[in-house]
Amino acid sequence: MVFLRPLKYLAKAMLLDATPGQLAWGFALGMVIGLIPKGNLIAVSLMTLFCALRINLAAGTAAILIFAWVGMLLDPYSHRLGHFLLTHPSLQATWTSLYDMNVVPWTAFNNTVVLGSTLIGLAAFLPTYCISRPIFARFAEKWAEHVKKYRVVQIIGRGEMADRLVA
């Protein structure tokens, strides 16, 4: 059963924490992570939050993969938004004081695309949750029952029961 262990983890990720709320929170947080360019403290912090919260990891991971591609298409708009905010005269003192702090330079807020993508992702977070929750509520239970019918999932379930009997 060792060779089926990765499939077991995938099935658990898809079926465990599969309430509509957990699916929607996972998808919404995955959307934010996918939109933000990686390699900065914001992305690392959001990934830590993603792993620490009780959300559906499969929905979140799917959203990260989808919105990483969407984020590249949104880069020109993110750049415009970030450039507008970073060059706005009334915000210059704020950006300077933030950048003089010890941790803030690691967030890469001085990058126009990072700033713009972060703001777009945060602005879309709650609407994404509100839109995806009813969709997951309608289809999650049917999808879970459909997945449980596959022979591989049944074999994984039997192997898990055998592990419990031996232990």
- Which sequence spans correspond to the domains of the chain? 19-140
Two tokens, residue 20 = 């509509």
pLDDT at 91: 95
Dist CA 57 CA 12 (whole Å): 10
CB of 17 closer than 8 Å to CB of 144: no
What does the pLDDT look like over 133-145, one tens digit per residue? 999 888 877 766 6
What φ, ψ does residue 40 adopt, rounded to 5°? -140, 170
pLDDT at 166: 38
What does the pLDDT look like over 69-94, one tens digit per residue? 999 999 999 999 999 999 999 999 99
Based on the number of CB atoms within 10 Å of its own CB, is 52 exposed (0-12), middle (13-18) or buried (19 or more)? exposed
The stretches in the chain having pLDDT less than 70 are 1-17, 143-167
Two tokens, residue 153 = 């999932």
pLDDT at 148: 64
pLDDT at 162: 40
pTM of the model: 0.79
pLDDT at 122: 97
